[in-house]
Amino acid sequence: MEIIEGIEVPDNKTELDKATKFISRVSKKVNNHLLSLKLPKDEFIELYQEILRVLFNVGELSEPIFEIQDKLEEKYNLAYSHSPALATKLFWEKYSDAHKPYTILKNRCYTLLDNLEELYTDIYSEPPIYFWK
């Protein structure tokens, strides 16, 4: 368990490290395809599905952070009741920091999906059927 301002949330460091390594491997594969301008359709589907699985998994891992929002906000509002603006500012800083590792990984997944879609479109002169947007 990890403690954020006295509130317990799961420690997902191991899972996030695995996701980071996976994203790096897939990113290398996508970059290799970008350099060669070759991407078989079946490999596109496989890469696409793998990226979506990681994106979904990281999203699920971040759910406990969303669940503590109200408690965390209440804690800051009570601690800084003399200055509601300061309470709000500090709350959003802490809440954003808690989300940061998940947000970075999700954004990397979205970037990979964009790059993969662009590569597919460049090679086949049409957008892929499984595009996520």
Closest C-alpha among 32, 52, 56, 35 to residue 113:
52
Q: pLDDT by residue (tens digit) across 25-77?
A: 999 998 898 888 888 989 999 999 999 999 999 999 999 999 999 999 999 99
Confirm if 9 and 65 have CB atoms less than 8 A apart: yes
d(CA 25, CA 28): 5
Percent above pLDDT 90 for the chain: 77
Q: Give the number of other Cβ atoms within 10 Å of residue 79's Cβ.
A: 14
Q: Which residues contact 120 (CB under 8 A, 6 or more apart)?
A: 39, 44, 127, 128
pLDDT exceeds 80 at position 1: no
